């Protein structure tokens, strides 16, 4: 059963990765770098600051930092436990997929997917009633994580598993944040 799932995962990777072209490689290389998302993060910070003020924004940012560190450690635990090679390093397929970028670390599961989904989920539950279209925030993890498939760095199952991890950790951190807000009366 697992072999069949992994074979389907590989077939889906080959298809999705094959949709790319050299024309767009530069764009996806820009999208995949976290530093290039700083303007987006600054916009989020500004919106949060305007809604909450400095004290509560600082409190929220501590939770976001802890959330990212936690999710990242969970991701590393899974990567080093399963040790699944990245598609770009898989000798069976790396000659038939578009390898735009190479990384030597393991593939399962995507830290990009897990971290972005965790933060998006956490912020969504906090601000869904405050901002009318805040659900659009989930476009960020979708675009960011797809870049990993496009570049040949992750399988679709890596992305979906990262999303699941992010949803769970983001929601749990939201619950802890709610508890902290009530206790601190910020």
Give tens-digit pLDDT for 37-68.
999 999 999 999 999 999 999 999 999 999 99
DSSP symbol at 138: G
To the nearest 10°, report the CA torsion of 71, 77, 78, 80.
140
* Contact by Cβ (8 Å): 9, 97: no
Structural contact between residues 160 and 142, judged by C-beta atoms closer than 8 angstroms: no
Contact 169, 118 (CB under 8 A): yes
Write the pLDDT tens digit of every residue in 127-183.
Answer: 999 888 999 999 999 999 999 999 999 999 999 999 999 999 999 999 999 998 888
| Lookup: tokens for 50 | 């305007």
Q: C-alpha distances in angstroms, 32 versus 85, 112, 171?
A: 19, 9, 24
What pTM value is reported for the model? 0.91
């Amino acid at each position: 059963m697992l072999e069949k799932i992994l074979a389907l995962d590989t077939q889906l990777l080959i298809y999705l990765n094959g949709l790319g072209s050299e024309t767009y490689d530069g764009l996806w290389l820009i999208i995949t770098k976290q530093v290039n998302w700083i303007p987006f993060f600054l916009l989020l910070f500004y919106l949060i600051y305007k809604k909450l003020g400095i004290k509560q924004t600082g409190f929220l940012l501590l939770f976001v930092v802890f959330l990212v560190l936690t999710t990242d450690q969970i991701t590393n635990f899974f990567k080093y436990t399963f040790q699944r090679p990245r598609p770009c390093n898989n000798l069976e397929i790396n000659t038939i997929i578009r390898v735009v970028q190479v990384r030597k670390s393991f593939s399962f599961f995507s830290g990009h997917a897990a971290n972005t989904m965790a933060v998006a989920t956490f912020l969504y539950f906090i601000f869904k009633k405050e901002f009318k279209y805040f659900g659009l925030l989930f476009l960020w993890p979708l675009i960011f994580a797809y870049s990993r498939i496009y570049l040949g760095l992750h399988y679709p199952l890596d992305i979906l598993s990262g999303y699941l991890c992010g949803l769970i950790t983001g929601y749990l951190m939201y619950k802890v944040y709610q508890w902290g807000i009530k206790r601190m009366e910020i």
